[in-house]
Copies of this chain bind each other. A is one copy, B any other.
């Protein structure tokens, strides 16, 4: 099975000055690989027109599929449309659908349209327009030399949406008689990468044309298996057998597949039980609440939370006893449990989750160094505590703590 050669090209001064990490390039390379293409080149150039033109000319001469992001914004240094139009010998022209959408949206917000805004809805005349459902600048496809070239804005949200909805189906058709793919990503919490690796050793032994990939989505780990078969149904059947094996090996460290977040999975379980949740957060400062409420419809099961940063607020708002704070300190099993019980009571919820810890860099003691976090989960018939210690920076400590709290809740909801 011969794979099509692909090139990813990202465009933007800020990328080549290293001001932002070029995550688009990696994301696109991963998607193209999954579509069965061979990504032989990734390139990146500045906003200079001659460099963009040269890179496109080269890519179109060596790859069958070229996917580009960047340089489609409203400002004068966004040059991609002009360069591509010249390359294929046409003029730029406004795409009527995107222009109408922009005019409607600006009118709605009472924004004035500047000439720069109108730059953004242009495509090379006659190009195949790739609809942007998340923003103003359309993507587009043109043919040049032996290649199909796809263009998308650099804003990751818009790029991903256009690629998934518009570009990927076209590319899949182009790669049509290649192998069929079945893929799944399993999401793992509370287990380091090397332990996941160990638990899955030999997973694909005896299974031909299947590959295993690890990726860290801190603080969680992702495992992806891609199965390639001439027949799509066969690929899916093999994948289901692998799925059963992965589940047996990872137990309740495995909390979801593909795009499911811990907050989504926990939310679905709460909804299924008709149960509600309240939070008491100290060191995470609202992070767990933000994760829970990032799920649409979370108001069905989320009552609310208290961010109790100051100690007197822990007592006044959630009824943590002064003796508890005095005897055990704010970061302790006892305080965590009183916080979780307090959150349940004050917010009239079925489940209460509490986190209290020292995110650092300051505030640690020899007994409780920075990176120590006490978690508690209280439910109708459950009280569970766990102490974490993660000697690292402030943000990772908070992320690990939030993930561990949601994972503990997940496991208890599984058993309840």
Q: How far is the CA of A77 from the CA of B223 in the complex (A)?
A: 13
> Contact partner of A42 among B29, B44, B396, CB < 8 A?
B44
Shortest beta-carbon distance, A147 to chain B, in Å? 17
Interface size class of A (residues with CB under 8 A): 35 or more
Shortest beta-carbon distance, A364 to chain B, in Å? 12
Does B16 contact A42, Cβ atoms closer than 8 Å? yes
Does A15 contact B29, Cβ atoms closer than 8 Å? yes
Q: How far is the CA of A45 from the CA of B45 in the complex (A)?
A: 15
Q: How far is the CA of A53 from the CA of B42 in the complex (A)?
A: 15
Cβ of A293 within 8 Å of any chain B Cβ, yes or no, is yes
Across-interface contacts of A285 in B (CB, < 8 A):
286, 289-290, 292-294, 298, 302
Stretch binding the partner chain, chosen from A213-221, A245-253, A374-382: A213-221
Residue of B nearest to A105 (CB): B391
Cβ of A46 within 8 Å of any chain B Cβ, yes or no, is yes
Most buried by B among A23, A75, A317: A75
Cβ of A109 within 8 Å of any chain B Cβ, yes or no, is yes
Residue of B nearest to A215 (CB): B14
Q: How far is the CA of A74 from the CA of B193 in the complex (A)?
A: 8
Shortest beta-carbon distance, A362 to chain B, in Å? 6
Residue of B nearest to A109 (CB): B389
Indicate how many identical chains form the complex.
2
Does A391 contact B302, Cβ atoms closer than 8 Å? no
> Contact partner of A214 among B77, B111, B313, B392, CB < 8 A?
B77
Does B305 contact A286, Cβ atoms closer than 8 Å? yes
Cβ of A239 within 8 Å of any chain B Cβ, yes or no, is no
On whether A30 and B17 interact (CB within 8 A), knowing A197-B74, A290-B284, A290-B285, the answer reads: yes
Across-interface contacts of A203 in B (CB, < 8 A):
none
Cβ of A303 within 8 Å of any chain B Cβ, yes or no, is yes
Across-interface contacts of A294 in B (CB, < 8 A):
285, 394-395, 398
On whether A393 and B134 interact (CB within 8 A), knowing A16-B29, A45-B40, the answer reads: yes
Shortest beta-carbon distance, A352 to chain B, in Å? 13
Convert A15-36 into 0s and 1s, putting 1 for each residue whose CB lies closer than 8 angstroms to a CB of B: 1111111110111111111000
Convert A279-293 into 0s and 1s, putting 1 for each residue whose CB lies closer than 8 angstroms to a CB of B: 101011111111011
Q: How far is the CA of A308 from the CA of B111 in the complex (A)?
A: 32
Across-interface contacts of A28 in B (CB, < 8 A):
18
Does B40 contact A30, Cβ atoms closer than 8 Å? no
Convert A258-288 into 0s and 1s, putting 1 for each residue whose CB lies closer than 8 angstroms to a CB of B: 0000000000000000000001010111111
Shortest beta-carbon distance, A70 to chain B, in Å? 12
Shortest beta-carbon distance, A272 to chain B, in Å? 19
Q: How far is the CA of A303 from the CA of B192 in the complex (A)?
A: 34
Q: How far is the CA of A393 from the CA of B161 in the complex (A)?
A: 12
Cβ of A307 within 8 Å of any chain B Cβ, yes or no, is yes
Q: How far is the CA of A21 from the CA of B21 in the complex (A)?
A: 8
Does B304 contact A304, Cβ atoms closer than 8 Å? no
Cβ of A117 within 8 Å of any chain B Cβ, yes or no, is yes
Cβ of A238 within 8 Å of any chain B Cβ, yes or no, is no
Does B309 contact A302, Cβ atoms closer than 8 Å? yes
9 contacts between A and B (CB under 8 A): A16-B29, A16-B39, A19-B214, A22-B25, A40-B45, A296-B394, A302-B310, A304-B317, A305-B307
Other 4 A-B pairs with CB < 8 A, given A40-B45, A111-B192, A305-B309: A17-B33, A108-B391, A155-B216, A286-B287
Closest 6 A/B residue pairs (Cβ): A18-B30, A285-B293, A286-B289, A286-B286, A18-B29, A305-B307
